Structure 1
Amino acid sequence: MELTRRDALAALAATGAGSLAGCAAPRASDGGAGPIASNGAPVGDSEMETLVAVAEVVYPSAVDGVAEFVGTYTGGRVDGDDGYARGVAAAVESLDEYADEFHGDRYAALSASTRRDVLDYMSVDVVDPAPDGTAAQRVRHYVVNELLYAFYTSPTGAGLAGLENPPGHPGGTESYREGPNG
């Protein structure tokens, strides 16, 4: 399945974050190592590379177009919210430091299986997300949960998980007449 810019914009609309006005997609960076275009937030190419590397590990393997999806979603998510952007940058820095300490390189430079191991060893899957918590809690909050939320609120991600019309969501007259089991 192909994640698209449209999926990212739908996920952004679900968060109520970012600006969707106009035709241009939010950009993850302003050419090179620069920050997010309009507000000077600290999420540049290096952070985006790490976010994409995490998404490649936590998203289902059947999904393509991850880099463009993550770039568009994250660009819109951090645009205009400098506090959130600083939180993302700090969480990515913590993840890179952890990977470097145990594997001698930044997170994005590691193989997919090693990246998966880093998240497991960091216990990101079992800690409670907390924006002001430990490094693992911040990575869970700002990186993993945010990427998973974006994926599963997008039409492609929801369809892949069978959530395109979850219980309690209006699905038109056919779903009303047939009930949840069809």
Structure 2
Amino acid sequence: MELTRRDIIAALTAAGVSVGAGAMSFEMADSDGSSGELVSKTVSPVRRQDTTATEGLSEAVIDLLDAVAAVIYPSAVENRHEFVTRYTQARTANRPEYRQGIADTAAELDAVARDWHDTPYAAVNLVTADELLTNLGVNTADPVSDGTISEQIRYYLIDDLLYALYTTPTGGRLVGIENPAGHPGGTKSYQRADMTTDSTQ
């Protein structure tokens, strides 16, 4: 299922981010038109940086977030990279401390990947990326902003990406939620496809 401009707006609205007309430019076309990943790209290591003095997250951080999303999002999701990019940049635009937390946590995860596999996290294959998170104990960690590396990964990288996806109409349909929170789908969204009304009754 393809994530669209409508999904990005829905996710940002659910997260409490005001998205006015013309406030953001959405171009959902990707280089390969499928998973949202670029066809050919050199992945850079995530370096520690002071994001409070910048306007957004670095490309290396976005690539790492997309690699995390590739692990935790259903494989049926399309336009993932663009969705992650637009959502996280807008979500952190006016939250410098939160943006710094994401950048620092991304740098920590990337350092682990380079230490264990001699390559940036965004460059390892999907199986290795999944195993790395599992071996760090992220699956069972509580989301804590100032906790252990596993707890910070859960807080800054995992939970927000999952929340973003499943508050969208497309993400909701993937798990059987026809009307995600904050999405006015009307009475039709509550009706199962196999339910019919006999006009003679």
Query: TM-score under structure 1 normalisation?
Result: 0.83
Residues in 2 aligned to 1:26 and 1:122: alpha-carbon distance in whole angstroms: 37
Give 2:37's aligned residue. Answer: none
Give 2:63's aligned residue. Answer: 49
Q: Structure 2 unaligned runs (5+)?
A: 27-45, 196-201
- 1:20 paired to 2:34: no
Q: Structure 1 unaligned runs (5+)?
A: 28-32
- 1:144 paired to 2:144: no
Give 1:120's aligned residue. Answer: 134
Deviation at 1:9, TM superposition (A): 1.4
8 Å CA contact retained: 2:56, 2:92: no
Larger Rg belongs to: 2
Q: Which amino acid aligns with 1:57?
A: V
Aligned Cα root-mean-square deviation (Å): 3.0
Query: TM-score under structure 2 normalisation?
Result: 0.75
Give 2:31's aligned residue. Answer: none
Deviation at 1:139, TM superposition (A): 0.6
- 1:102 paired to 2:138: no
- 1:88 paired to 2:102: yes
Q: Higher helix fraction: Structure 1 or Structure 2?
A: 1
Q: For this pair of structures, how many residues does the alignment match?
A: 171
Deviation at 1:105, TM superposition (A): 1.2
Give 1:69's aligned residue. Answer: 83
* % same residue: 42
Deviation at 1:121, TM superposition (A): 0.6
What are the Cα deviations for residues 130-175 of structure 1, in whole angstroms up to 9, with x where unaligned?
Answer: 00101111111000111100000011001111112369x9864578
What are the Cα deviations for residues 103-139 of structure 1, in whole angstroms up to 9, with x where unaligned?
Answer: 1111001011100111111111100000010111111
